Amino acid sequence: MADLMNKIVSLCKRRGFIYPGSEIYGGLANTWDYGPLGVELKNNLKNNWWQTFIQKREDLFGLDGGILLNPKIWETSGHTTGFIDVLVECKSCHCRFRTDSLKEATKCPDCGGELTKPKKFVPMFKTFIGPVEKEAMLAYLRPETAQAIFVNFKNIIDSFHPQLPFGIGQIGKAFRNEITLGNFIFRSLEFEQMEIEYFVLKKDWEKSFEEWKKLMEKWMTDLGVAKKNLRWRPHGKDELSHYSERTEDLEYKFPFGFKELFGLAYRTDFDLKQHAEASGVDLTYQDQKTNKKFYPQVVEPSFGVERALLVALIDAYHEEKDKQGVRVLLSLNPHLSPYKVAVFPLLANKPDLVKEAKKVYMLLQPDFATTWDDRGNIGKRYYSQDEIGTFLGCTVDFQTLEDQTVTLRNRETMKQIRVKISDLKKTIQKILEGEEFLKFGKLVK
Per-residue pLDDT of the chain (445 residues; tens, 9 = 90+): 669 999 999 999 999 999 999 999 999 988 999 999 999 999 999 999 999 999 999 999 999 999 999 999 999 998 877 666 677 777 777 666 767 667 667 788 777 888 887 876 768 899 999 887 776 788 999 999 999 999 999 999 999 999 999 999 999 999 998 776 678 999 999 999 999 999 999 999 999 999 999 999 999 999 999 999 999 999 998 888 888 889 999 999 999 999 999 999 999 999 999 999 999 999 999 998 889 999 999 999 999 999 999 999 999 999 998 877 789 999 999 999 999 999 999 999 999 999 999 999 999 999 999 999 999 899 999 999 999 999 999 999 999 999 999 999 999 889 999 999 999 999 999 988 875 533 444 444 3
Report the Cα 273 to chain-centroid distance in Å: 31
Tell me the C-alpha to C-alpha distance, in Å, between residue 411 and each of 31, 75, 91, 271, 385.
Answer: 32, 52, 53, 48, 8
Which residues have CB under 8 Å from 104's CB, separation 6+? none
Dihedral sign from CA coordinates of 132, 133, 136, 139: positive
Which residues, other chains included, contact 240 with Cβ-Cβ below 8 Å and sequence gap of 6+?
Answer: 246, 247
Gap between the Cα atoms of 119 and 101, Å rounded: 14
Asked if 381 and 373 touch (Cβ cutoff 8 Å), the reply is yes
Contact 150, 169 (CB under 8 A): no
Question: Which domains are delineated in the chain?
Answer: 2-69+143-313 (3.30.930.10), 339-440 (3.40.50.800)
Could you say which DSSP state residue 107 is in? Answer: B
What does the pLDDT read at residue 443?
Answer: 41
In this prediction the pTM is: 0.89
